[in-house]
Amino acid sequence: MIRKMEENDIPAVRQVAAESWHDTYEGIIPREIRECFLAAAYSPASLQRRLEQSILYVAEHEGSVVGFANFFRLPQTGDAELSAIYLLPFYQGQGLGTALLERGIGDLSDAGRLYITVERDNENGRQFYESRGFSSVEEFEEDFGGHTLNSVRMMRPL
C-alpha cells in the first residue's frame, strides 16, 4: 500500500533511510560520511520539515513502513524533483519502488518534467530510473561531506 507519510511514520522512515543508505552506498560513500549525512538529513526535525514543505509517500507491507519517496516542486520552472526513494533491501525488486514513483508522478501530473540525481556508481539506481523513462541530462562531480561524488542528473518528461 502506498500512502501519504504522516508524522508518526518518522521513526520508521528514519530506519528505512539508514538501512537502505548503508546497503546502497557501501563501497561508494565512506561509512562515516553516510552516518553524518543520515544524522542531518533524516533527523526527526528534518523529516518534520520535509512533511511540511514537500510531498512524502510511504510504502507499507503488512502494516510496516518498508519504503518511502520524497518529491518536491521546483518553483522556478514548475518541474518536479524526486529527492529520495528508498526501500528496505528485502523489499527491493518487488514493484514497491515503481509504485512509489508512479504515485508521485500521478500527483505531479501538471509538472512538465521530473528530475532525479543519482550517484554514477549506483548501478541499480540508474537502471531503475532508465527502465522507467528517465534519461541522463548531465554528469558532474560534487562535494559530499568531503567525499567527491560522481553524480548523474536524469530527467523524465511527464
Show the cell assigned to 6.
504522516
Whether pLDDT at 109 is above 90: no
CATH code for the domain of 74: 3.40.630.30
- pLDDT class of 26 with cuts at 50, 70, 90: very high
Nearest to 118 by CA among 34, 24, 42, 3: 24
- pLDDT class of 158 with cuts at 50, 70, 90: very high
- pLDDT class of 31 with cuts at 50, 70, 90: very high
Domain that holds residue 149: 2-157
Q: What is the pLDDT of residues 13-23, one digit of tens each?
A: 999 999 999 99
pTM value is 0.95
Provide the domain count of the chain.
1
pLDDT at 93: 93
pLDDT at 37: 96
